[in-house]
Structure 1
Amino acid sequence: MKLEDQAFNSLLKYTKALSVALGYRDLSTQLHSERVQGLSVSLGKSCGLSHNEINTLIVAASFHDIGKIGIPDHILLKPSKLDKTEWETMKQHSEIGEEIMRATELEGSQQAALLIRHHHEHYNGMGYPDNLSGEKIPICSRIISIADSYDAIAVKRSYHHVRTHSKIMDILHQETGEKYDPDLMRVFAEIIESSQFRAAKT
């Protein structure tokens, strides 16, 4: 899965409008995506991904939640937990995101779209949309999954308080092997300690 520099630069240039659109729809999701990109790239580099794999990861992490553009406001912006029906609708954002990225028809968009589709798969096969498990999940999607969860838990929501870095890591470790790749989590646990995106310790 490669994305050469020229194609990478073109893809970022012509998809920038998507990021702007997402920011107008839901600024918190746009800012979250920027932090997830930073965490994902750090983890990818620490795992020895190639330059071209990192390029693809940058695009996919930046737009992993772009499909939320297609989620109705009463669900996307709901200030409390979603009910079962609402959650099923929210889960569609990974497939919508894949469709949006593919629709650009730019070189490299197909690879990025696949990673976006699978960023909510779980290591034990209980995720969505395709119930992939283990190494059947693209490594970049497994990376985005960890970064996405860390930042989502760290940010204050109306239905949960701000959590400390240690509490977030406790939650992630408890779900490692179920949601998250154990090998990637070991690396993440090291790099997050010196990351600019680390949550407060207290």
Structure 2
Amino acid sequence: MENRDDALHTLSTYTKVLSVALGYRDMLTQLHSERVQDISLAIGKARGLSKVQLKALQVAASFHDIGKIGIPDRILLKPAQFDDAEWKVMQSHSEIGERIMAATELEGSQLAADVIRHHHEHFDGTGYPDGLAGEDIPICARIISIADSYDAMAVTRSYHRSRAHPDIMGILQQENGKKHDPELMDIFCGLIESSEFKAARN
């Protein structure tokens, strides 16, 4: 029987088809997911996560937005802010993503699925879908939350322009302890300054 590390490697290999599917649906989301994976792994390694945790982080970060496959185009590709009803539909992508990952039924898929479900939880308990707080949120989900937030603001999308690096860091610091884990934020702040994914200064 495969050990957990081998199982997660197998999961990573066989779920690449999901990445291809997401790319055909929304290439910008696929590219965002690839950047989030790289940033997340850098944080995870600096935090000293185990080999198994890092593999789970890699898989979950790669597919944290896979649930957007289930979001209607009129919402997913809308070039403006969502109304309340549309936002509720968009929020469901984390639960859809959990179900897609778990449905592979590969060993290790449930671990990655749990992380995908919770990557929009907030450290203070105000996130979704379950309102988890603090260390009740899986550490890999807390890491992805930071990487996801940074990259979302660093890159121009149909509904917003990219922000400069100092502006992004200012927003993240305001969210520190509320949306994001302060310990992980400290690690991220030390890494991003020399990262290839650092946004332009203006």
TM-score between the two structures when normalised by the length of structure 1: 0.97
Q: For residue 158 of structure 1, report the CA deviation from its aligned partner.
A: 3.4
Q: For residue 6 of structure 1, report the CA deviation from its aligned partner.
A: 2.0
Aligned to 1:119: 119
Tell me if structure 1 keeps the 8 A contact 2:78–2:158.
no
Aligned to 1:109: 109
Percent identity (aligned): 65
Tell me if structure 1 keeps the 8 A contact 2:65–2:93.
yes
SS in 2 for 1:56: helix
Matched, 1:68 2:68: yes
Aligned to 2:164: 164
**C-alpha distance in 1, partners of 2:60/2:143?**
11
Which 4+ runs in 1 deviate beyond 3 A? none
Structure 1 gaps of 5+ residues are none
**C-alpha distance in 1, partners of 2:9/2:119?**
23
Aligned to 1:184: 184
SS in 1 for 2:15: helix
**C-alpha distance in 1, partners of 2:96/2:111?**
15
SS in 2 for 1:129: coil
Amino acid at match of 2:60: A
**C-alpha distance in 1, partners of 2:140/2:158?**
30
Q: Paired residues, what number? A: 200
Which segment is superposed worse, 115-124 or 153-162?
A: 153-162
**C-alpha distance in 2, partners of 1:158/1:111?**
32
**C-alpha distance in 2, partners of 1:5/1:177?**
32
Aligned to 1:41: 41
Aligned to 2:7: 7
Which segment is superposed worse, 25-34 or 192-201?
A: 192-201
TM-score between the two structures when normalised by the length of structure 2: 0.97
Structure 1 residues 139-197: Cα deviation after superposition (integer angstroms, max 9, x where no partner): 11000000000000111133332211111000100011110011110110000111111
Amino acid at match of 2:198: R
Aligned to 1:55: 55
